[in-house]
Amino acid sequence: MAEQEIRFNVPSLEGRETEYVAEAMRSGHSSSGGSFSSRAGDVIREEIGGAGVLLTTSCTSALELSAMVLDLQPGDTVIVPSFTFVTTALAFVRQGARVLFCDVEPETLAADPAHVAELMDDSVRAVVLVHYAGIAGDVSGLMDVLASRPEVALVEDVAHGPFGRWKDHPLGSLGRLSTFSFHETKNIVCGEGGALVVNDAADLERAWVLYEKGTNRRAFMEGQVDKYSWRDIGSSFGLSDTLAAHLLGQLEVRETIQAKRRHVHERYVDLLAEPCADLGVQLPVVPAASDPAYHLFHLLLPDAATRNRVMAEMRAQGVQATFHYVPLHDSEGGRRFAARPTECPVTTDVSSRLLRLPFHNNLTDAEAERVAEALLGALRR
């Protein structure tokens, strides 16, 4: 009998998700701002801190909301790593800004502070920090660059990093604004969802207006005003309470989820560290100051041809290995929306050699062994 395929990602129910979703559907309040939204927001706030948590329909929409909060204008630029998902950059472009793509460091694949410093000029209004794989990179180096530029906002894209830490700080608490993803491919899921964590209290009132379709409805709901009306730009960012119920079911068992993911990560390290060192393959590098969120498990193979061959051979054996990201600075959209061309050689190099192994909450030890066997067998051929 053919062996079962080992899928790259398998979203799972881990707690009371279905019970809560049914409750939300029966409650008569399934739009945004219901009781599940407020309970899910409270859990995030307990963990991350901040002045407020706004649940959104995705991390992309939370990034768009952050671009609105920053009031970006044509002529403004935002520094974004080239090695990230499209919408980390696109959200700011939509608001009229241009992007300056920075390179990443070869070990952590996080923004390279020296390149950020080089790109910095008076047009820069924000720097976006992505915690790739849920691992914080050289945050101190980036903070040093930003120390002399207090007018430049730090935005954290925490799509990979919920409940990871840098030193004593939860990821998501470092920036003026930070954005989370609860897409089905992430650690904590609700199908599609996200959150904006507003860390500076001065941003909160306006963030709620932008979130509530440009109105002061939030102040009305809290009894601060007796009617609400149109005040500003904005859009419809709110997560349905039905999805917030799904999210709360996951958030309540966040420690179990993170522990399961940590176990899978450690299993892969046990199986692969030694043979990969001999084969010239780099495992995820976790700096001492970083307590990872265990979002994904990535390897850097010796070259692009080996990566492509190994990935194809693994897939032929039913192991869904994959890769990402196509460098943004070199993409059609990236070239079109960059303020000026920049060089990101590390991004170009790592994106051609990176391989992601199947990784999800309930990947069994036996599956991890099969993945390792398929990988090492292909590498040795």
Ligand X SMILES: Cc1ncc(COP(=O)(O)O)c(C=O)c1O
Contacts to ligand X by CB under 6 A: 58-60, 84-85, 87-88, 130, 157, 159-160, 181, 183, 194
- 241-265 in b/e form (b: 16+ CB < 10 A) is bbbbbbbbbbbbbbeebbebbeebb
Closer Cβ to ligand X, 196 or 276, answer by number: 196
Structure tokens at 317: 């054996």
Closer Cβ to ligand X, 58 or 216, answer by number: 58
Question: How far apart are CB 84 and ligand X at their closest, in Å?
Answer: 5
Closer Cβ to ligand X, 87 or 95, answer by number: 87
Closer Cβ to ligand X, 157 or 241, answer by number: 157
**Backbone phi, then psi, for 52, in 5-degree steps?**
-170, 155
Question: How far apart are CB 60 and ligand X at their closest, in Å?
Answer: 3
Closer Cβ to ligand X, 60 or 361, answer by number: 60
Nearest-angstrom CA–CA distance, 192 and 185: 9
- Assign 3-class secondary structure to 15-61: CCHHHHHHHHHHCCCCCCCCHHHHHHHHHHHHHHCCCEEEEECCHHH
Question: How far apart are CB 172 and ligand X at their closest, in Å?
Answer: 13
Instruction: Find the largest Cα–Cα distance for the chain.
Output: 72
Q: CA angle 345-347-353, nearest 5°? A: 105
Q: Coil, helix or strand for 347?
A: helix
Axis-axis angle for helices 17-26, 241-251 (nearest 10): 150
Closer Cβ to ligand X, 87 or 173, answer by number: 87
User: If you search the block for the tokens 């032929």, which residue do you land on?
Assistant: 316
Q: Coil, helix or strand for 147?
A: helix
Question: How far apart are CB 157 and ligand X at their closest, in Å?
Answer: 5
Closer Cβ to ligand X, 157 or 215, answer by number: 157
Question: How far apart are CB 194 and ligand X at their closest, in Å?
Answer: 5
Question: How far apart are CB 222 and ligand X at their closest, in Å?
Answer: 27
Alpha-carbon distance values, 7 to 4, 198, 315, 330 (Å): 9, 36, 10, 30
Alpha-carbon distance values, 33 to 5, 24, 216 (Å): 40, 12, 14
Closer Cβ to ligand X, 89 or 286, answer by number: 89
Question: How far apart are CB 94 and ligand X at their closest, in Å?
Answer: 13
Question: How far apart are CB 313 and ligand X at their closest, in Å?
Answer: 26
Whether residue 160 contacts residue 23, with contact meaning beta carbons closer than 8 Å, is answered with no
